[in-house]
């Protein structure tokens, strides 16, 4: 039985971001840039170069750069068969293409296409629906990064806490605990103050103004089998950001674990 994909799934969207084509290229096609709005990234920045996205402790996605045309076009492929514990020929690579189109007025449109798999397996449709919902919000991060922190190196803070309830109810608890308002409102949590840039379904994006400038994403998602996770992911931009993360990470972790506990009590 052939496992060659016949009809790969495709996810396509476009976002307009501030900056020149060169600035956008540095953000989407370098390890430093990708790590400042996406996941911690290692990348050999040339055609044929290796690529690794860190997805947490001892977990990540490996791939390679297949097309490299600065500052216009980047294509890379990730080995999702290995990531998902399947045989090497069970899944085609996950292929992502970025096209940068400069616009008048100092902005660029980034066109993103991801495609792959197409084995006909029942889980694929759900996988691609979730991938779109989980991946596209990162491009709001990209817009904020290019608008406020272009070219800067980020220090990431990421903490999560799981509990045996559904993600919608957990999000309600998190939302109420933070006192999240509408877009443009000010919010404060654990001594961190910022402006709400997006308030979406089970996810909020905050531009941090103090004590360390940066970008903060708060979110919940279903893990399956009756459990869900609450998370906080921050990209911080200052010379003392690493010290700040070491100092504050335990408090963020305790806060998220406390959210789960308060929800369980409720």
125-134, pLDDT tens digit by residue? 777 787 888 8
102-118, pLDDT tens digit by residue? 999 999 999 999 988 76
Q: Which tokens hold the place of 77?
A: 């492929």
Q: Which CATH number, 3.30.300.180, 3.40.50.10540, 3.30.530.20, 3.40.50.150, labels domain 155-265?
A: 3.30.530.20
Burial of 162 (0-12, 13-18, 19+ CB in 10 A): middle
44-93, pLDDT tens digit by residue? 999 999 999 998 777 889 999 999 999 999 999 998 766 666 776 767 78
% residues pLDDT > 70 (the chain): 90
Pairing mode, if any, of strands 9-18 and 41-43?
unpaired
Please give the average per-residue pLDDT across 142-161, as a whole number.
97
The dotted CATH code for 9-148 is 3.30.530.20
Please give the average per-residue pLDDT across 167-196, as a whole number.
94
149 vs 128: which has the higher pLDDT? 149
pTM over 0.75: yes
Q: How does the average pLDDT of the chain come out, rounded?
A: 90
pLDDT at 6 over 60: no
Question: What's the CA angle centered on 94, arms 122 and 54, to 5 degrees?
Answer: 110
**Residue that the structure tokens 């799981």 belong to:** 162
Residue 38: predicted pLDDT: 97
211-233, pLDDT tens digit by residue? 999 999 999 988 888 899 999 99
Residue 42: predicted pLDDT: 97
Q: Give the integer Cα–Cα distance in Å for 255 and 262.
A: 10
- What are the residue ranges spanned by the domains of the chain? 9-148, 155-265
C-alpha 203, offset from chain centre: 12
Residue 265: predicted pLDDT: 54
């Amino acid at each position: 039985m052939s496992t060659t994909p016949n009809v790969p799934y495709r996810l396509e969207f476009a976002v307009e971001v501030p900056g020149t084509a060169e600035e956008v290229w540095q953000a989407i096609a370098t390890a430093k840039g990708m790590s400042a709005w996406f996941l911690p990234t290692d990348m050999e920045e040339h055609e044929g170069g290796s690529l690794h996205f860190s997805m947490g402790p001892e977990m990540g996605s490996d791939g390679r750069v297949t097309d490299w045309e600065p500052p216009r076009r980047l294509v890379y492929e990730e080995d999702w068969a290995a990531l998902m514990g399947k045989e090497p020929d069970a899944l085609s690579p996950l292929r992502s293409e970025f096209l940068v189109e400069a616009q008048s007025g100092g902005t660029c449109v980034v066109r993103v296409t991801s495609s792959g798999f197409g084995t006909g397996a029942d889980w694929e449709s759900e996988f691609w629906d979730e991938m779109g919902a989980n991946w596209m919000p990162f491009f709001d991060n990209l817009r904020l990064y290019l608008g406020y922190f272009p070219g800067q190196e980020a220090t990431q803070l990421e903490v999560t806490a799981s509990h045996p309830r559904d993600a919608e109810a957990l999000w309600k608890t998190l939302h109420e605990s933070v006192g999240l308002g509408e877009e443009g409102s000010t919010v404060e949590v654990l001594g961190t103050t910022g402006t709400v840039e997006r308030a979406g379904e089970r996810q909020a994006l905050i531009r941090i103004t103090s004590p360390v400038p940066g970008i903060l994403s708060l979110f919940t998602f279903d893990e399956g089998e009756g459990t869900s996770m609450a998370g906080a992911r921050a990209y911080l931009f200052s010379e003392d950001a690493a010290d700040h993360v070491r100092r504050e990470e335990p408090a963020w972790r305790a806060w998220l674990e406390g959210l789960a506990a308060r929800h369980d009590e409720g």
